[in-house]
Amino acid sequence: MRRHIIRWAPVALIALLAGCSGAAPAPATNNGQGDAGAAASGVAASPVIDSDCASMITDAQMRKATGLKDIALAASSGQEKQGEQFCPFTSPTYNATVIVAVFKGGGFDTTYTDMEKTATTQNAQKVTGLGDAAQWVGPTTTLVARKGQAGISVMLQNANKTNFKDPKAAATAVAKLLLAKV
């Protein structure tokens, strides 16, 4: 199940931001890996903790930023596109997920710029003091920000007031941590 979250994260982020704008999400690719590759070889990939994700933001930092006491980086076996890094953090107690993503190179030029344009069409709120430009899309509880030629997104799933006292503040706190690393 977790690998499906990761593999579809770019599509989900764009689709959620797109809402009623009519913007079409970019097609997802998994570089010939994932379910088809595993099925062909007869061996399913075992989920592992992504060391790149763990170096971007620690479980302790995520807990402090979100206020969720048990949120932690989830193991994943999804195959990523070059220039796109997706890191799911989950909280079983609150049934909440925070998907953070970093986009560089081709991932910035395509996926991130599409997400940023879509956020703009959704009357996103500008967030000042966060990178070179940042926007919060309340209905999808997603924050997108860029710094130079790198982009990030922070998507809160199941972000009700019980889980996150202030979803925008939580996403902003996570984004500050990510932007310090890109």
Q: How many CB atoms lie within 10 A of CB 2?
A: 15
pLDDT (0 to 100) of residue 100: 95
- Candidates 177, 166, 131, 167; CA nearest to 151 is 131
pLDDT (0 to 100) of residue 49: 66
pLDDT (0 to 100) of residue 5: 43
Strand segments, DSSP code E, in 84-130 are 84-91, 96-104, 125-126
8 Å CB contact between 97 and 13 = no
pTM metric for this prediction: 0.75
- How far is Cα 181 from Cα 110, in angstroms, rounded to an integer? 21
pLDDT (0 to 100) of residue 37: 41
Contacts of 101 (CB under 8 A, 6+ apart): 9, 10, 13, 84, 85, 86, 87, 152, 153, 154, 155
pLDDT tens, residue order, the chain (182 aa): 444 444 445 544 444 444 433 333 333 333 333 444 444 445 555 566 677 888 899 999 999 999 999 999 998 755 667 889 899 999 999 999 999 999 999 999 999 999 999 999 998 999 999 999 999 999 999 999 999 999 999 999 998 877 888 999 999 999 999 999 88
**How does DSSP classify residue 24?**
P
- Candidates 178, 135, 169, 181; CA nearest to 65 is 169
